[in-house]
Amino acid sequence: MDFPPAGPAPTVYPMALIGLARARVAAGDTTGAKAAYDQFLDLWSGADADLPLLAEARRERAALK
């Protein structure tokens, strides 16, 4: 049986990925930004589609070509 991780990690880690992605965009590292956005979107793949942070992340990721 799998148990969810204890502590704040399940909540904090995805938020850190968004911060990392945005920092990498600001630094001009689009490859790193895409990877961070993709990891966030993978972690939140089962989240409600209308969550503001998820919608922002999808828009920001789509803007990276």
Q: pLDDT tens digits, residue range 15-64?
A: 999 999 999 999 999 999 999 999 999 999 999 999 999 999 999 999 99
Question: Which residues are CB-contacts of 25 (< 8 A; sequence separation ≥ 6)?
Answer: 33, 60, 64
What per-residue confidence (pLDDT) applies to 2?
Answer: 60
pLDDT at 6 exceeding the cut of 70? no
**What is the pTM for the complete model shown?**
0.84
- Report residue 34 CA to chain centroid gap: 9
pLDDT at 7 exceeding the cut of 80? no
Burial 30-56 (b: 16+ CB within 10 A, else e): eeebbebbeebbeebeeeeeeeeebee
